[in-house]
Structure 1
Amino acid sequence: MKTVYSVELASTYITTLPFKSPSQNHIPVTKRWKINSQAKGFNRSNLEKKKVMINEEKMRKMKEDAEADDKIPDVVMNRMIVRILFNVGVPLVTGLGLLQVFSVIKEQNLWQIPRWLPFLTTFITFGASTIGIAYGTLSTSWDAENKGSLLGFREARKNWVQMWEEDESVNK
């Protein structure tokens, strides 16, 4: 932040005055005002001390949070990614495929498709695709040694309860 450090005030004067001597006519008056850019109680040293204290506190909190969070094993993370891609990809591709099928049927004049049918199928398939992100995460076995079942219903029930128990213990 740049501040004005000085302001020069030059007074206006008349070059010749009838009632003064000629030696006093040409005296320029210059004043310099210095603006104090630091208000009382906010000098640099106090601000710097406060910033250092705040930064140290933030670093301490970040370290505590990092220690509190458990690292997800790579095996479990890879399983989650595969399940999420499957649970998002299948409904998404199905929805796009149905839109293409409806387009071909309409172009070939095989059947006059009502407008609500593509809307409904898109709503259902794309909605299932968005829900697939959460289900892909919950249906994965969070145990690195246990692979889990194919559809993951048992793991989803177990992980759902475990997730809410952890959330309640954090909020208390």
Structure 2
Amino acid sequence: MAKKSRPTPPPPKKRGWQQIEAPGMPQVVSDRMMRRMVIFCGLPTLLGLLAFPSSYLLLQQGLKVPVVAVVGVTLGCFGLGIVGLSYGILSTCWDAERQGHWLGWQELRINWGRMRANSKANRNNAPT
């Protein structure tokens, strides 16, 4: 018996060198979010990764650093990285035509309100 071959789906339509965007988040908003996440999450995480080598260098110079302080600084930096990840997403302007403020306090309040309203609506519509 011969196997039946399935038809392959057509390739996505292209516009020049770009693919046509599917409905959802615009690429400019996604890029903006990524930049903010790298800044607000990447920098504290990098500092957390540098805490151990820095403490080793200080130890080599004769300065005794308590282990608890090194662990505390590392965990604090990693915690800031996690908070920064959420802040990077929520402080981004989700409007493709508007850039928003560089710190994003206004956008954070707007997006937090949207998220809470959506959560409340989903909770009210959930089957019981």
TM-score band, normalised by shorter chain: 0.7 to 0.9
Q: How big is each residue's C-alpha offset from its partner over 1:91-121, in whole Å with a ceiling of 9 and x where there is no partner? A: 0111222322211010221x11111110110
Residue 128 (1) aligns with residue 80 (2)? yes
Q: Which of these residues, 34, 57, 63, is aligned with residue 81 of structure 1?
A: 34
Larger CA Rg, structure 1 vs 2: 1
Is 1:116 aligned to residue 61 of structure 2?
Answer: no
Question: Residue 136 of structure 1 aligns to which amino acid in structure 2?
Answer: G
> Secondary structure, in 3 states, of the residue corresponding to 1:155?
helix
Identity %: 32
Residue 123 of structure 1: CA displacement? 0.9
Using the alignment, how far apart are the partners of 2:74 and 2:109 within structure 1? 28
Aligned equivalent of 1:160, options 97, 106, 112: 112
The aligned length equals 102
Aligned residue runs from structure 1 range 1-172, under 5 A? 71-109=24-62, 111-172=63-124
Q: Could you state the TM-score of these two structures normalised by the residue count of structure 1? A: 0.56
Unmatched segments (≥5 aa) in structure 1? 1-69
User: TM-score normalised to the size of structure 2?
Assistant: 0.74
**Which of 1 and 2 has higher RCO (CA within 8 Å, sep 6+)?**
2
Secondary structure of 2:99's aligned partner: coil
